[in-house]
């Protein structure tokens, strides 16, 4: 990405962990629920896969968060089993996770693209997801480097109508 547009955004963070550990965090239900989600269900041929199994292209998913009723469903587009994942998210958007070994850490790059250009999508997807991924990448770093989670798991945030936009640790 060489310029800012409403069609996509990229978030990057250096994390002191192995590529294998980071890939596990993104590519298994066990990994995703260790730092991100309340539950992650992956289906292969319409049957749930093991929580420890790595995702593959054409798997579908259902993701559930800790403190709100939102459910995300999508499809895995591409994986390479070590440092690259692409999946559908927020409807027809594509999210790409790329892990790159640098001298002192892994550079994790997340790009969300194919964002629709209507005003609602600019607000809810570009603004909402961009802010959300910023927090979740920081949470992943805190978890892997310091063993702490920054996200709220115990307080019910559903009574707050705009919780997803107002709470920084949702």
State pTM to two decimals: 0.95
Q: What pLDDT does 1 receive?
A: 55
Q: What is the pLDDT along the chain (170 residues), one digit of tens a residue?
A: 578 999 999 999 999 999 999 999 999 999 999 999 999 999 999 999 999 999 999 999 999 999 878 899 999 999 999 999 999 999 999 999 999 999 999 999 999 999 999 999 999 999 999 999 999 999 999 999 999 999 988 888 888 888 888 888 77
- Homologous superfamily (CATH) of 9-166 is START domain (3.30.530.20)
Helix (H, G, I), strand (E, B) or coil at 136: helix
Q: What pLDDT does 162 receive?
A: 85
Query: Token pair 């309340």 is at which residue?
Result: 38
Q: To 5 degrees, how large is the angle CA 164–CA 57–CA 2?
A: 60
Give the other-Cβ count within 10 Å of 57's Cβ: 13
Give the other-Cβ count within 10 Å of 70's Cβ: 12
* E strands present in 18-105: 39-44, 47-48, 60-64, 71-79, 84-89, 93-101
Q: What pLDDT does 157 receive?
A: 84
Query: Token pair 């590519």 is at which residue?
Result: 27
Spell out the domain ranges in the chain.
Answer: 9-166
Q: What pLDDT does 5 receive?
A: 95
Q: Are strands 9-15 and 39-44 parallel, antiparallel or unpaired?
A: unpaired
């Amino acid at each position: 990405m060489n310029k800012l547009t409403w069609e996509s955004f990229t978030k990057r963070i250096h994390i002191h962990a192995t590529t294998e550990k980071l890939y596990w965090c993104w590519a298994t239900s066990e990994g995703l629920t260790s730092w991100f989600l309340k539950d992650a269900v992956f289906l292969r041929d319409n049957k749930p896969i093991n929580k420890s199994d790595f995702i593959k292209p054409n798997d579908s998913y259902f993701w559930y968060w800790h403190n709100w009723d939102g459910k995300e469903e999508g499809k895995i587009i591409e994986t390479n089993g070590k440092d690259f994942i692409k999946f559908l998210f927020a409807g027809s958007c594509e999210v790409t996770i790329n892990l790159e070994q640098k001298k002192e850490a892994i550079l994790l790059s997340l790009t969300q693209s194919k964002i629709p250009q209507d005003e609602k999508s600019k607000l809810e997807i570009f603004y909402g997801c961009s802010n959300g991924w910023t927090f979740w990448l920081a949470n992943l770093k805190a978890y892997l480097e310091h063993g702490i989670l920054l996200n709220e798991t115990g307080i019910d945030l559903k009574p707050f109508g705009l919780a997803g936009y107002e709470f920084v640790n949702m």
